[in-house]
Amino acid sequence: MNSKRKPYKTYTKEFKVEAVRLMNASDIPSSELAAQLGVRRNQLYKWKAQLEDKGDKAFSNNLGRPRKENQSELVTLRQENERLKEEVEILKKAAAYFARELK
């Protein structure tokens, strides 16, 4: 089963600010507003919290975790190291299992 996940939707800063403004100003329940805007209700609350915490710096162009090709070499090497450690553990267990069978 090799299915690719759908790419994340990205929204502009203006859209997010307007959505939070509508949530604060209108009497429409947040779940209804979220349905109208095509987002999840909890996403509206996250945007509201970000706007309150960071003010004008909220919703910068930082789109979450960096892509694989943009990650630093150190992060890539750490991930590879973890994967190799897991493989070594699996091989150790397999070797012990087969050694027991030979006795």
Q: What is the pLDDT of residues 10-57, one digit of tens each?
A: 888 889 999 999 999 988 899 999 999 999 999 999 999 988 888 877
| 19 burial type by CB count under 10 A (0-12 exposed, 13-18 middle, 19+ buried) | buried
Q: What is the CATH number of domain 9-64?
A: 1.10.10
Answer yes or no: is pLDDT of 90 > 70.
Answer: yes
Given this model, what pLDDT does residue 71 score?
72
Tokens of 54: 């960071």
What percentage of the chain reaches a pLDDT higher than 70?
A: 86
- Model's pTM, two decimal places? 0.54
The three-state secondary structure class of 87 is helix
DSSP 63: -
Given this model, what pLDDT does residue 35 score?
93
Phi, then psi, of 41 in degrees rounded to 5: -60, -45
DSSP 65: S
Given this model, what pLDDT does residue 91 score?
95
Given this model, what pLDDT does residue 1 score?
52
Sign, CA dihedral 34-35-37-39, equals: positive
Please tell me which residue, 41 or 60, carries the higher pLDDT value.
Answer: 41
Break the chain into its structural domains and give their ranges: 9-64, 68-103
Q: What is the residue-averaged pLDDT of the chain?
A: 85
What is the distance between the alpha carbons of residues 62 and 70, in angstroms, rounded to a whole number?
13
